[in-house]
Every structure is written in structure tokens, then in C-alpha cells.
Structure 1
Amino acid sequence: MHRSVGPALGIVLALTTTVHAQDVVNGEALARRWCVSCHIVSADARTGQANGLPSFPTLAKAPQTTETSLRRAMTAGHSRMPDFSLTKQEQDNLIAYIFSLRSR
């Protein structure tokens, strides 16, 4: 019975990585569609602000940026942020994309 655990675990980990990668791709697409009008969303942006707002790479690397803080900003918005009424999955995808910028 223990022999089958290794391959099964490998399959689960591979699927998890694939889903995560797809979340990042979907999050980047959402960012380019909805967020780019106010934020710099490109992974290549090392500095700079759009409309006085931080770039996504800057947000990603800020120590105070957490899943909770990002989700709060997406749902409660802020004075200049429109209500996009993002689904939880869309929020998850955007968060995955933003956090992926930490390692770039």
C-alpha cells in the first residue's frame, strides 16, 4: 500500500502546480484587462507609479502586502478604485499573479 503513495503524491503535486500556474496566467490577463488603467501591472516594471498608485511588482514586494490586504482592497476598494465585483476565483487569480511577481 505504501508503494502507491509516492506516485499518487507526485500526481497531486503536479496538478497543484499546474492549477497554480494557470491561476497566475488568468490573474495576469485580468490585471491587463481591468487594473492597467490605474496600475502598472507588468512584471518588467521595477519602479514607478501610475496615477500615484504603486505598480504590481512594488505591491508584491511590499512586506505589508498579504492575501488579506489584497482581497480587502479588491472588495472594499478605495476612493479611486471602481467596484469590479470580482468573483472569489478572479480575486484568487489576481492575488496569485501579484505574488508571482515577488520572485521575478
Structure 2
Amino acid sequence: MRVLTLGLSLMLIAGSSPSLAADAQNGETLATRWCNGCHVVSDEQRKGSDMAPSFAAIASQPSFNEERLAFFLLEPHPKMANMALSRSDTKDLAAYIAGQKHR
């Protein structure tokens, strides 16, 4: 019991909690479900809408910021489907988009 308590205390002090980290793999699942009708969400996808930028183009913008994107995704946007994503989902989706940046 002491070892468990010590371990949990050290995690809290260090501020590292795996459950708080964004899950880009879940973000990929969400992108496939909600976004690929308009956006090119991965290198494997060949076609999206001419009206929506690819995720790679979004992530490559100099002003790209995961936190701002996650916040933006919480609010309904007229040109986007009403996805009703949770805060965790928006962070996961933003982390996935960040990973699409052209290298």
C-alpha cells in the first residue's frame, strides 16, 4: 500500500499523468469519422473538398497551435459538421492534425 501511495504521490508531484496526454490515435479515428469528407486527413487519402485545407496544410501553418485548434473545435462552425466533441476528443484530434505537418 505504501508503494502505491508513494507512486501516486510522485506522479502528482511530477505532474505526469498518462490520462492527460492527447491520444493522436484516437484523433485519427475521429478524423476518419468526422473530417475526411471535406479534408484530406492523411497521406493515404487521395481526395477531399476543394474548399477545405488538408490537415497537413493546417499543421504546416506558422501560426498553428494545438491548444487553439482544440478550443476552436469545441465550438460549432457553420462550414463544419456539428461533431459535438468532448474536450478530450478535440485535444486528440488536434494532436493528430499536428502529426500531419509536412516534414
Q: C-alpha separation between the residues in 2 aligned to 1:70 and 1:77?
A: 13
TM-score, normalised with respect to structure 2: 0.67
Structure 2 gap ranges (5+): 1-9
- 2:64 is matched with which residue? 65
- 2:85 is matched with which residue? 86
Aligned residues: 87
TM-score, normalised with respect to structure 1: 0.66
* Contact 1:39–1:54 (8 Å) recurs in 2: yes
Aligned identity (percent) is 33
More helix per residue: 1 or 2? 1
* Contact 1:43–1:56 (8 Å) recurs in 2: no
Deviation for aligned residue 1:43:
3.4
Structure 1 gap ranges (5+): 1-7
Could you say what the CA RMSD is over the residues aligned between the two structures, in angstroms?
2.8
* Contact 1:75–1:83 (8 Å) recurs in 2: no
Deviation for aligned residue 1:49:
5.8
Q: C-alpha separation between the residues in 1 aligned to 2:62 and 2:76?
A: 20
- 1:25 is matched with which residue? 25
